[in-house]
Chains A and B, each alone.
Chain A
Amino acid sequence: MTGAVLAVLAMAALSSCGSSSGAGSEPAADGSVTLKFLIDNSQATVDTAKALTEAFMKANPTITIETETRPGGSEGDNIIKTRLSTGDMSDVFWYNSGSLLQALNPAQTLVDLTGDPVLANVQKDFLPVVSQDGKAYGVPGGTAMGGGILYNRKVYEQLKLEVPKTWANFMANNEKIKAAGIAPVIGTFKDTWTSQLFVLGDYYNVQAAAPDFAQKYTANQAKFATTPAAKAGFDHLAEVHAKGFMQEGFGSATNDQGMKMLVEGKGAHYPMLSAQLPPLVSTLPQAATDVGFFGIPGTDAAKNGATIWEPAGIYIARTTENLDAAKKFLAFVASPAGAEATNAVVQPAGPYRIAGAKLPEDAIQVAKDLQVYVDEGRTAPALEFVSPVKGPSLEQITVAVGSGLTPPAEGAAQYDKDVEKQAKQLGLAGW
């Protein structure tokens, strides 16, 4: 009994420490306000956040924004969740949109921006990925990006190749590239997340073949293993490995090494996100012009398109004490002026999701390539933006399939099981 009392006292003491340290930014007497802004530590995000906050502080001298960084990946997810659940979150924070947002319990932890003038310039297509139950919580941070094949245009020029519209053409190109002594496809399985692109980036083709896949998949009615268009991603991965198209040492190569190989022309194709390029431009200037983008080719040349990753969101924590200043900052982020401030510092990796915001004239090649797909309406959002279900082990499964350890059909079946675990943990209906 005394043990229980002691435990309660101790917990109370611990939790009171937690909340008192959270309140560090009260408005000062002269009306100046300090906002805390939590971002992930990737170069692109850090640069974008710096550009946005500096331009904003110039226009609003009474508001100071202090940025703090956190690690990316699932480690960062846990930091965000912990800080939100303990009431220790910064005023404003940068976090994924789409399925990962759903896990933050936005209705309890974030400020609802539905109908707020803050969202006035945000494109309607973007709102669903920062919404839950019809309420919108964030504005787009940065630009959308493409998930598909980044390719070295110099290699294409030199070997007189054309951008492939079907998977068969793509593999034919790979044969020629291999014959020329260049690694046709770059694999970087040490950074396991990079192995997923053949599957996730193929979603445009899945949607073209089975338009209701996302809906059925969320409701436990469609599976990767039993939907041929969805299984194709795993088949592609296995085929590339089986034909020996990946460079030597792909098992322990990292993402940075892969990007370098691509830009320097030691590898021709890299299934990757276009957002990996802008940070490279300062050290390898040819990254801006030599690397292009195309969507992962499917079976039908007439239905060619690309899969898009929506920008991350910038959200306001419900615990903020500076709501007005935070809203002012978000409104600036989601305005053409915010986009321009970003353009001046960071090369956009794809189109903006803000009405009136345009790519600069000297945009990098991948962004231009992607804009063509967007202008022609040949894009689909990645599956993780239209369904809350994404299994956590996909990256290990794709490494296993891409290394020839697991046959593609088995990999797809494994992923279906992985997804089931996720859906059960989310408490979704029908699982």
Chain B
Amino acid sequence: MTKQETGPRTGPGPAPGHARPSVRRKSAYPYALYLPAGIVFLVIFLVPTVMAFYFALTRWTLFDSEFVGLQNFQDFLAEQNLRIGFQNTIVYAVVTSGLKVVLGLLLGVLLTSKLRLRGFLRSVVFFPTLVSTVAVGITFAMLLKPQTGLVNQALALVGVDGRDWLGDATTALLSVALVDVWKGVGLATVIYIAGIMSIPQEYYQAVAVDGGGAWHRFRHVTLPLSWPATYSVIILSFIGGLRSFDLIWTMTRGGPGFTSDTIASIIYKQYQAGFFGLSTAGNVILFLVVTAIAVPLNYYLGKRQVAA
């Protein structure tokens, strides 16, 4: 940022030479001003992170810790339900982020069109995002109850025999994922609305001149040009899906049995059992897994964004 000089500039070209050092002196804060933020960052983020990497290598009871090397990592990877947990985590992340992209885009298109109730509908779609995840989990656990839940009662009205959505191994994970989509699609929609609104009108006029219909407008203008929005939604919801915990925990606690366990819930159960070193090792692994998936994904999608 160059700062406006006092007095009128006489013409284009670089600002007079003496201005530069003064600009630098003004914009540079004394280092002391960084200190409070630095201390907060150090104490609350950096120290615990480094400590976590250390405690992952110990048998840690909160009272004392004993260095055991990579034993915890070995034990965590030998965890019998890790495979299910890993599968579920990926399935959950893919299903939720996929549905959020599709539904978010459709709702985004709908809510940027000339609807009469547009403002109202936008609030309705965004509302679930504002509610606490735990509250959503508890509410839906009630709604999905086999006999007394509203969902099955509604299904019964149209003659469909609903099932025990959360107590049945085949539907538990998917039910939670759908609730996650219900809750998260508002945010995706808002991102899409912003993305679609920023597409210049000229493109649509060009399609109109060429005689293209609604489908052409969507296929050749909206879809490719809202790629930045798609990119944000995929990254946000995919990482969110990989780390998802609160909704799964409040709705099924990883059950029935281990059928809806994710990596995060496996780690949490180990904290609960008092295996602090072991679960810290699990967190380190989760951190590495999320990084290993998110960084290449980010890179790949980023490259496409440039191309698009």
A-B contacts besides A11-B43, A403-B169, 11 pairs, CB < 8 Å: A7-B42, A10-B42, A78-B274, A252-B141, A392-B273, A393-B81, A405-B256, A414-B80, A418-B80, A425-B274, A425-B277
| Nearest chain A residue, comparing its CB with the CB of B270 | A392
The answer on a CB contact under 8 Å between B75 and A424 is yes
The answer on a CB contact under 8 Å between B146 and A6 is no
Of A3, A401, A427, the residue contacting B59 (CB under 8 A) is A427
Of A105, A108, A190, A406, the residue contacting B257 (CB under 8 A) is A406
- Bound complex: CA of A225 vs CA of B175, how far in Å? 34
Q: Shortest CB–CB separation between residue A396 and chain B, in angstroms?
A: 6
The answer on a CB contact under 8 Å between A252 and B63 is no
- CB under 8 Å from chain B, chain A span 367-417: 392-393, 396-397, 399-401, 403, 405-406, 414, 417
- Bound complex: CA of A405 vs CA of B84, how far in Å? 13
B83 at the interface (CB under 8 A from A): no
Q: Could you say which residues of chain B place their CB within 8 Å of the CB of A85?
A: 62-63
- Going nearest first, the 7 A-B pairs with the smallest beta carbon separation are A251-B167, A400-B257, A392-B273, A74-B272, A252-B167, A249-B146, A10-B43
Known: A189-B256, A251-B167, A405-B257. A10 touches B63 (CB 8 A): no
Q: Shortest CB–CB separation between residue B63 and chain A, in angstroms?
A: 5
Q: Shortest CB–CB separation between residue A93 and chain B, in angstroms?
A: 16
| Nearest chain A residue, comparing its CB with the CB of B71 | A424
The answer on a CB contact under 8 Å between B62 and A427 is no
A154 at the interface (CB under 8 A from B): no
The answer on a CB contact under 8 Å between A421 and B75 is yes
Q: How many residues of A contact B (CB 8 A)?
A: 46
The answer on a CB contact under 8 Å between B169 and A405 is yes
- Secondary structure call for the B interface: loop
Q: Shortest CB–CB separation between residue B280 and chain A, in angstroms?
A: 12
- Bound complex: CA of A108 vs CA of B64, how far in Å? 11
Q: Could you say which residues of chain B place their CB within 8 Å of the CB of A252?
A: 141, 144-146, 164-167
Of B43, B62, B167, B272, the residue contacting A75 (CB under 8 A) is B272
Residue pairs across A and B with Cβ atoms less than 8 A apart, 29 shown, are A3-B42, A6-B39, A6-B42, A6-B43, A10-B42, A10-B43, A74-B272, A81-B61, A82-B62, A103-B274, A105-B64, A248-B146, A249-B164, A250-B167, A252-B145, A252-B146, A392-B270, A396-B254, A396-B257, A396-B258, A403-B167, A406-B257, A421-B79, A421-B275, A421-B278, A422-B273, A422-B275, A427-B59, A427-B66
The answer on a CB contact under 8 Å between A249 and B147 is yes
Q: Shortest CB–CB separation between residue B236 and chain A, in angstroms?
A: 30
- CB under 8 Å from chain A, chain B span 223-282: 253-259, 269-275, 277-278
| Nearest chain B residue, comparing its CB with the CB of A100 | B274
B interface, CB within 8 angstroms of A? 39, 42-43, 46-47, 59, 61-64, 66, 75, 79-81, 141, 144-147, 164-169, 253-259, 269-275, 277-278
The answer on a CB contact under 8 Å between B42 and A392 is no
- Cβ contacts A240-264/B at 8 Å (1 or 0 each): 0000000011111100000000000
Q: Shortest CB–CB separation between residue B30 and chain A, in angstroms?
A: 17
Q: Could you say which residues of chain A place their CB within 8 Å of the CB of B278?
A: 421, 425
Q: Shortest CB–CB separation between residue B255 and chain A, in angstroms?
A: 6
A175 at the interface (CB under 8 A from B): no
The answer on a CB contact under 8 Å between B80 and A81 is no
The answer on a CB contact under 8 Å between B257 and A397 is yes
- Bound complex: CA of A14 vs CA of B61, how far in Å? 20
Q: Shortest CB–CB separation between residue B224 and chain A, in angstroms?
A: 45
The answer on a CB contact under 8 Å between B274 and A77 is yes
Q: Could you say which residues of chain B place their CB within 8 Å of the CB of A82?
A: 62
Q: Shortest CB–CB separation between residue A104 and chain B, in angstroms?
A: 8
Known: A82-B62, A251-B166. A399 touches B275 (CB 8 A): no
| Nearest chain A residue, comparing its CB with the CB of B274 | A103
